[in-house]
């Protein structure tokens, strides 16, 4: 049984066909529509589609004008690109440890990591659980830090009833197939700030600074328009946006199903003292992009043995994510010690992501729960 599986139906096919029939297949009317729908849903004034969440994070860092000498605080337990985006512009990714219970940034370790050079914090809503935004935003205000929300896993997640991605300065989302909705690869960046939006539009489009709207045309056929920035090609295609629009139309159903499946796992596993189940503190919404459990005792050896046993039963699992400070690039560059961020290290070593996908059956969940209990007993 696979870890995850996207849900497509005739709606995606219909919109993709409509796109192909129109002959306009790169960033055009469907991308604009996708952006509009996404912005409304996440209560942001602007949304820009990109090739990935990594591209969205890169654009966000550049729009904020971060540069060498600046420090950007990043949780130590996250996907690598939450940190890479700072390094892309020569800024320094500075790690802060996470909380065992939420896997998210600990506001206290965040505060301890702030220095006079800190300009921004990347707040990750890991596995679909909203980070403690009230405390984090209060710190950001106090120390005048930009807040980039890495909401790669958190399409549709709310904090105190408000969609994440619109709470900080800039929000970044992923449409990779393991995420809540997918366009194959793809991402979105959200903000209320018009100037940053215009910068990101240019950077996404080779650095073109002239025609920011798809409908804008040069005054003369021989005008090429200005390119005053060093930009990239980070544009989503209309074919992908067609899929994204169909996925957005299903979003509420997908979220409800994920929540139901997660709650059922919790019912099935609640009595197992050896593992910690995912929970959500007050105000923090959870969309269960991943259902990640933690093996309380026995460390990595026991966790690995359990995963291997599940593997022999064709149950695919993965560790939650990386302790980024232990990865070669960061460990070597900043001489970081594995034990420096102990919670992140323990989370990488002892977490297991269980399969959870739309269409999962009761029998599949029962089989996984029973197999896990058996593996725990024999490990």
What are the catalytic residues? Answer: 179
52 binds ligand PLP, rule: CB under 6 A: yes
79 binds ligand PLP, rule: CB under 6 A: yes
Angstrom distance (rounded) from CA 56 to CA 139 = 24
Of 150-158, 206-214, 229-237, 340-348, which part binds ligand PLP (CB under 6 A)?
150-158
Nearer to ligand PLP, 127 or 146 (CB): 127
Angstrom distance (rounded) from CA 204 to CA 129 = 29
Nearer to ligand PLP, 78 or 118 (CB): 78
Give the CA diameter of the chain: 75
What is the nearest approach in angstroms of ligand PLP to the Cβ of residue 333? Answer: 20
Angstrom distance (rounded) from CA 343 to CA 110 = 14
Of 1-9, 76-84, 234-242, 306-314, which part binds ligand PLP (CB under 6 A)?
76-84
Nearer to ligand PLP, 41 or 176 (CB): 176
What is the nearest approach in angstroms of ligand PLP to the Cβ of residue 57? Answer: 7
Choose among 52, 53, 33, 59: nearest CA to 248.
33
- Considering only 44, 61, 98, 152, the residue that binds ligand PLP (CB under 6 A) is 152
13-42 residues in contact with ligand PLP (CB under 6 A) are none
E-assigned strand segments in 282-346: 291-295, 322-323
Nearer to ligand PLP, 90 or 177 (CB): 177
Q: In what order do the strands lie in the sheet with 46-50?
A: 46-50, 187-191, 170-174, 146-150, 118-124, 71-75, 92-96
* Residues binding ligand PLP: number (CB under 6 A): 15
Backbone CA torsion sign across 216, 220, 226, 227: positive
Nearer to ligand PLP, 81 or 197 (CB): 81
CB-based burial, 138-152: b 16+ in 10 Å, e otherwise: ebbeebebbbbbbbb
What is the nearest approach in angstroms of ligand PLP to the Cβ of residue 182? Answer: 10
Tokens of 129: 């659980």
Tokens of 186: 């793809």
261 binds ligand PLP, rule: CB under 6 A: no
Angstrom distance (rounded) from CA 72 to CA 116 = 11
What is the nearest approach in angstroms of ligand PLP to the Cβ of residue 282? Answer: 23
- Considering only 64, 145, 153, 189, the residue that binds ligand PLP (CB under 6 A) is 153
Tokens of 28: 């055009």
81 binds ligand PLP, rule: CB under 6 A: yes
What is the nearest approach in angstroms of ligand PLP to the Cβ of residue 170? Answer: 14
Q: What angle do CA 48, 50, 54 make, to 5 degrees?
A: 120
Q: What are phi and psi of 274, to 5 degrees?
A: -75, -10
89-148 residues in contact with ligand PLP (CB under 6 A) are 124, 126
Q: Are 365 and 265 contacting, i.e. CB atoms less than 8 angstroms apart?
A: yes
Angstrom distance (rounded) from CA 219 to CA 249 = 38
- Considering only 4, 27, 82, 350, the residue that binds ligand PLP (CB under 6 A) is 82
149 binds ligand PLP, rule: CB under 6 A: no
What is the nearest approach in angstroms of ligand PLP to the Cβ of residue 177? Answer: 9
54 binds ligand PLP, rule: CB under 6 A: yes
Rounded to whole angstroms, what are the CA distances from 251 to 34, 44, 104, 280? 13, 17, 24, 21
Tokens of 130: 């909203």
Site string for ligand PLP, 160-199 (x = CB under 6 A): --------------x-x----------x------------
Tokens of 90: 């020569």
Q: Are 368 and 2 contacting, i.e. CB atoms less than 8 angstroms apart?
A: no
Of 48-56, 206-214, 302-310, 370-378, which part binds ligand PLP (CB under 6 A)?
48-56
- Considering only 4, 27, 78, 157, the residue that binds ligand PLP (CB under 6 A) is 78
- Considering only 15, 47, 53, 200, the residue that binds ligand PLP (CB under 6 A) is 53
Can you give the binding site for ligand PLP, defined by CB under 6 A? 52-54, 78-79, 81-82, 124, 126, 150, 152-153, 174, 176, 187
């Amino acid at each position: 049984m696979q870890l995850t599986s996207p849900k497509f139906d005739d709606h995606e096919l219909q919109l993709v066909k409509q796109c192909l029939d129109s002959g306009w297949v790169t960033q055009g009317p469907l991308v604009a529509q996708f952006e509009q729908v996404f912005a409304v849903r996440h209560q942001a004034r602007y949304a820009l589609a990109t090739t990935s969440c990594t591209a969205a994070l890169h654009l966000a860092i550049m729009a904020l004008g971060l540069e060498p000498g600046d420090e950007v605080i990043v949780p130590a337990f996250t996907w690598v690109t939450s940190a890479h985006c700072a390094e892309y512009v020569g800024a320094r990714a500075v790690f802060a440890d996470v909380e065992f219970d939420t896997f998210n940034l600990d506001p206290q370790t965040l505060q301890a990591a702030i220095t006079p050079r800190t300009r921004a914090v990347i707040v990750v809503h890991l596995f679909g659980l909203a980070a403690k935004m009230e405390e984090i935003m209060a710190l950001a205000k106090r120390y005048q830090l930009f807040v980039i929300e890495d909401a790669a896993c958190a399409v549709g997640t709310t904090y105190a009833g408000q969609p994440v991605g619109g709470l900080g300065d800039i929000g970044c989302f992923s449409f990779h197939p393991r995420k809540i909705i997918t366009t194959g690869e793809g991402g979105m960046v959200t903000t209320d700030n018009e100037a940053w939006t215009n910068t990101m539009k240019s950077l996404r489009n080779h650095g073109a600074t002239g025609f920011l709207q798809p409908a804008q045309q040069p005054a003369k056929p021989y005008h090429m328009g200005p390119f005053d920035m060093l930009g990239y090609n980070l544009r989503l295609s209309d074919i992908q946006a067609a899929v994204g629009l169909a996925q957005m139309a299903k979003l509420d159903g997908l979220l409800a199903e994920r929540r139901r499946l997660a709650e059922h796992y919790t019912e099935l596993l609640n009595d197992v003292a050896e593992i910690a189940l995912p929970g959500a503190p007050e105000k923090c919404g959870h969309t269960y992009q991943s259902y990640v459990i933690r093996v309380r005792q026995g460390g990595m050896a026991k966790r690995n043995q359990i995963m291997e046993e599940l593997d022999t039963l064709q149950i695919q699992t993965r560790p939650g994510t990386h302790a980024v400070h232990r990865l070669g690039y960061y460990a070597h560059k900043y001489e970081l010690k594995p034990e420096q961020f102990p919670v992140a290290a323990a989370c990488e070593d002892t977490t297991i992501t269980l399969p959870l996908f739309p269409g999962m059956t009761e029998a599949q969940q029962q089989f996984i729960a029973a197999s896990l209990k058996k593996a725990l007993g024999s490990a």
